[in-house]
Structure 1
Amino acid sequence: MKVVICGAGQVGANIARYLATENNDVTVIDRESRLTKKISDTLDVQALVGHASSPTILEQAGAADADLLVAVTQSDEVNMVACQVAHSLFSVPTKIARIRNQSYLRPIWADLFSRENIPIDHVISPEIEVARAIARRLQVPGAFEMIPLADGMVRVLGVLCADDCPIINTPLRQLTSLFPDLNIEVVAIVRGNRPIIPDANDQMFPGDEVYFVADSRHVGRAMAAFGHEESEARRIVIIGGGNVGLFLAQEIEANYPGVTARIVEENEDRAAYIAQTLSRTLVLTGDGLDTELLEEANIGVTETVVAVTNDDEVNILASLLAKKHGSQRAVTLVNNTDVYGSLITGLGVDAVVSPRAITASGILQHVRRGRIKAVHSLRDGFAEIIEAEALDTSSLVNMPIKDIRLPVGVIIGAVVRGDDVIIARPKTVIRPHDRVILLSASASVKKIEKMFAVRLEFF
């Protein structure tokens, strides 16, 4: 597949890395030669310096032969024009754009991004996606990751194994017999900074970060098996009133009537705007690192603090300060996970939110081929959680999972058949039109796409 990526910032570089490792033909455009040089030095991609919306530059990037254009520059307007030019002059079939300014996304302008107006096939709004990701984490206290799949019937959860975790030091193949009520499938373990896609003989140790698949109805029981029985947050303090903080507060007001939220925002004008926009959220004006202000926000009786300013260091320090003053849990937004990612969990931050990983997942969902319904990237791309529909012609159907020749680094976690969730076991048989939840190592994603693709001989 030939892909043109407009923008070589963190998100653009991340998408380029995903696609280049899968042997796609990738060209990246950016105005800054520093960024294009960095990306061409580290990845097997072409890089051009220039305006991403310029017809000449897009032509040089090979837009005439491109299957996909991804516009993720810092400017919404450049992203929109790039998609328009790619459509009008080069007939690029699929165009994805990152749009941050929410005025473009108001329901009243729902027809703006259409083939007849501005031809963008998929709009990605990072701030909204990040706010939703944080809200999902709040639903399952104790989990640093929560991914809903199959219309919410299945959840992929990430948990930290503490010293008192009841199921550590047990081979995975013995979990079902030793813990008959534990109906889960462990699909990934991160030990230190080393990701592991486990087999039946692997064990979990204290300090491991474990990803597992569970029936949504059994999440409480599964979390208890890992030693996590934290109560759901009823009092939340949000540090940072930018778009992410505002959207999160709106999500809480709309969908969590029993939750009380407070926002701490340093800019007085922005704080006034937020106070006018929200109906039942208290807005405090000041610095999130001010201990007196945190006390005014009742941080000592707050179950969760969410730090979502535009400064990674402020987010980390505010999270640690809030926990020191009594907050039970900290959810921290970090843009530069390359620098801070490996340090944070050791400092006491409970959940790290990476906007670039969330945005990449949203884009990959539209890039993946075959009958793939959802895609979520784990830990900067060592693997992907995929939801896909099994077709009559797929090599997975009508045989036990133990007999399927799965690619290396692929684990099937669950099968959804109608209203039934079946946690995958060796004797589980996948039927046509089942929704399959699986983890795939990044190197095997292309093979998974082919397994779930429509074959020509079927017609």
Structure 2
Amino acid sequence: MKIIILGAGYVGTELATYLANSGHAVTLVDKPSAELDRIAMRIDLRVVQGNPSSPVVLRNAGAENTELLVAATADDEVNITACSIGAFLFHIPRRIARIRSSDYLQEADEIFGDHGIPIDHVICPEHIATDDIARLIDLPGASAVSVFFDGMLTVISAKCQLKGKLIGHTYSEFESYENKASLLSVFRNGKYLDGFRGEFIAPDDEVFFCCQTERALSQLSALKPLHGGGREIAIAGGTHVADALAVRLSERFRVKLIEPSTDRALRISDRLYGSEVEIYNADPTSLEFMNEEQLQRSDIFIAASPSDESNIMASMLMHRLHNVRTMAIIRGEGYNRLAENTASEIDTVVTPNEATVSALLSNIRQEGVENMRLFRKGQSEAVELVIEGSHFSSRGIGRKPAELSLPSGTNMGLVLRNERVIRPDDNFKFQEGDHALFFLNDQKQVRKLIRYFRPRAFWIPKW
């Protein structure tokens, strides 16, 4: 597929890298910069420098022969303009835009689509991050969470801890625990644990598993002790994510939103008038403020400021001084590594860029891919594949998983069949229309996986 990606920030670059590695012809467009030159040297793709919304620049990027346009710059208006030009001038069939402003998002159904501005899919990083954090709050102790099968299945990453119900037992016992989960992968000391089902569950193992969503909390308790979710949440704000999160969580919790900027605190107060959110104009790292407002009584502290450094510092202070469960939003790669080094003091590190890239990739809809999510800084990937074809045209249909030659480091989880989530047993054989969850330790293998399940050329799909 010929794809143009606008914007060479983290999201645009990661998306371009993934798609180029998957065999697509990718062109990355952004204003001239030294970083863009470095990207051109590092990744097998074409780079065009210039204004991403300029018709001349888009024409130079090959818009006349492009099948997909992804507008992922940090400027909503640039993304909207580029998609409009791509549709009206170059007739690009599919257009996806990254939109952040609530002014557009509140009216998205009326503004975007066939009847309005020609954008097929709108991706909002703030909404994606809010969804991620809300799921992590509901699953205390999970490092990462993603849903598949239209919400019926949850994939969870967690670090094992002492006092987990099955610590010291084998991983095969974890799968038989309530017989509801399927192990996807285990990493020990940062390395994949080959033959993990016969190994004993040990503290600090990083475990990926999937289960029916309503069973997630019970399965998680087998790996680590769970603590109550609590009722009070404090959020260090200053970003759209913090604002959206405060409003959403206030429906279930008592929420304190701490905004260091006086002007912004006043604007938020006006915008959130009538909500249950308590807004404070203060420095979230101030010890005096922490004591005055008794933040130590909070059950969860979420550091969602625009500064990675401030988020790490505030989380560490809350943990050290008050032993509060902490979550920190970290965007930069360097600070991500720093946060990992202080993992004992930051309970959960949230990386919104990874989730945004995953959402974009899911909307691009590669062959047979219904949904996907990147994990471990983009190194690993969970994929929901739709099994298509017939007994004659498909390598999978009518065969057992053990009979398939899947790419190295690929493990299969649960399957959705006729609206029921099932755990494959020794007699299980793939049927047309099955949705199967696969986990790849190396996401670069996803291209081989998709090709393996692709029906042979003579297959005619059912309409």
Paired residue type of 1:346: N
Q: 1:59 to 1:203 in 2, by over 3 A?
A: farther
Distance 1:233 1:373 in 2: 35
Is the counterpart of residue 415 in structure 1 residue 415 in structure 2? yes
2:46 and 2:361 map into 1 onto residues whose CA distance is 20
Q: 1:332 aligns with which of 328, 340, 350?
A: 328
TM-score (norm 1): 0.91
Unaligned runs of 5+ in 1: none
Root-mean-square deviation (Å): 2.3
Aligned to 1:446: 447
Cα displacement (A) at 1:298:
2.7
Note the 1:338-353 alignment, pairs <5 A.
Answer: 338-347=333-342, 348-353=345-350
Matched residue SS, 1:111: helix
Residue in 2 aligned with 1:283?
A: 279
**Match in the other structure for 2:261:** 267
Describe how 1:16-27 pairs up with structure 2 within 5 A: 16-27=16-27
Is residue 162–residue 224 contact of structure 2 (8 Å, CA) maintained in 1?
no
Structure 2-normalised TM-score? 0.91
Structure 2 contact 3–27 (Cα < 8 Å) conserved: yes
Aligned to 1:360: 357
Match in the other structure for 1:371: 368
Q: Indicate the residue corresponding to 1:152 in structure 2.
A: 151
Is the alpha carbon distance of 1:64 and 1:428 closer, same or farther for their aligned partners in structure 2, counting shifts above 3 Å? same
Secondary structure of the residue that 1:250 maps to in structure 2?
A: helix
Q: How does 1:7-406 map to 2 (within 5 A)?
A: 7-107=7-107, 110-168=109-167, 172-173=171-172, 175-176=174-175, 179-181=176-178, 183-194=180-191, 200-201=197-198, 204-254=201-251, 256=252, 259-276=253-270, 277=272, 279-336=275-332, 338-347=333-342, 348-393=345-390, 394-406=394-406
Q: Tell me the CA shift for residue 60 of structure 1.
A: 1.6
2-side partners of 1:426 and 1:359: how far apart? 37
CA deviation string 1:314-334 (max 9, x = no partner): 001011111123243111100
Local SS of the residue matching 1:415: strand
C-alpha displacement of 1:363: 0.4
Q: Deviations over 1:139-198 (max 9, x none)?
A: 11111212122232211111111244454565544544xx54353222133444445676
Deviation at 1:209, TM superposition (A): 1.9
Q: CA deviation at 1:339?
A: 0.8
Per-residue deviation, residues 30-86 of structure 1 (Å, max 9, x unmatched): 113212112112211221211111122112212222221111112111111111122
CA distance in 1, matches of 2:32, 2:199: 46
User: How far did 1:415 drift?
Assistant: 0.9
8 Å Cα contact 1:4-1:69 kept in structure 2: yes
| Runs (5+) with no aligned partner, structure 2 | none
Cα distance in 1 for partners of 2:214, 2:106 equals: 34
Task: Find the aligned partners of 2:282 and 2:193 in 1 and give their Cα distance.
Answer: 43
Structure 1 residues 83 and 413: alpha-carbon distance in aligned structure 2, compared to 1, 3 A threshold: same
Deviates more, 1:430-439 or 1:150-159: 430-439
1:4 matches 2:1: no
Q: Is the 8 A contact 2:3 2:69 kept in 1?
A: yes
Measured in 2, the distance between the counterparts of 1:168 and 1:40 equals 47
Quote the Cα distance in structure 1 between the aligned partners of 2:285 and 2:194: 39
- How far did 1:370 drift? 2.6
What SS class does the counterpart of residue 437 from structure 1 fall into?
Answer: strand
Partner Cα distance (1:86, 1:13) in 2? 20
Q: Partners in 1 of 2:283 and 2:195 — Cα distance?
A: 44
Task: Rate the CA distance shift 1:48–1:356 in 2: closer, same or farther, 3 A.
Answer: same
- For 1:14 and 1:248, the matched residues in 2 are separated by 25
Offset of 1:7 from its aligned partner?
Answer: 0.8
Equivalenced residues, count: 452
Indicate whether 1:431 and 2:417 are aligned.
no
Q: Which SS does the other structure have where 1:218 is aligned? A: helix
User: Distance between the aligned counterparts of 1:81 and 1:197, measured in 2?
Assistant: 49
* Aligned-pair identity (%): 29
CA distance in 2: counterparts of 1:75 and 1:183, whole angstroms: 44
User: 2:346 aligns to what SS in structure 1?
Assistant: coil
> Could you tell me whether the CA contact under 8 Å between 1:305 and 1:327 is conserved in 2?
no
- Please state how far the C-alpha of 1:202 moved relative to its aligned partner: 5.4
Q: 1:118 to 1:203 in 2, by over 3 A?
A: farther
Superposition deviation, residue 454 in structure 1: 6.0
In the TM superposition, what whole-angstrom CA distance separates every residue of 1:191-212 from its partner, at most 9, and x where no partner exists?
4444567654555542222111
| 2:15 aligned partner, one-letter code | I
- Structure 1 residues 220 and 64, CA, compared in 2 at 3 Å: closer, same or farther? same
Cα distance per residue 1:111-162 (max 9 Å; x no partner) = 3222353211111111111111111111111112121222322111111112
Q: Distance in 2 between matches of 1:295 and 1:430?
A: 59
Q: Name the aligned partner's letter for residue 3 of structure 2.
A: V
User: Is 164-173 or 326-335 further displaced after alignment?
Assistant: 164-173
User: Do the aligned partners of residues 196 and 111 (structure 1) sit closer, same or farther apart at CA in structure 2, a change above 3 Å counting?
Assistant: farther
- 1:219-269, Cα deviation, whole Å (9 max, x unpaired): 232112102322123211111142101111121134x2xx21111001122
Change in Cα spacing, 1:169 to 1:22, as seen in structure 2 (3 Å) is farther
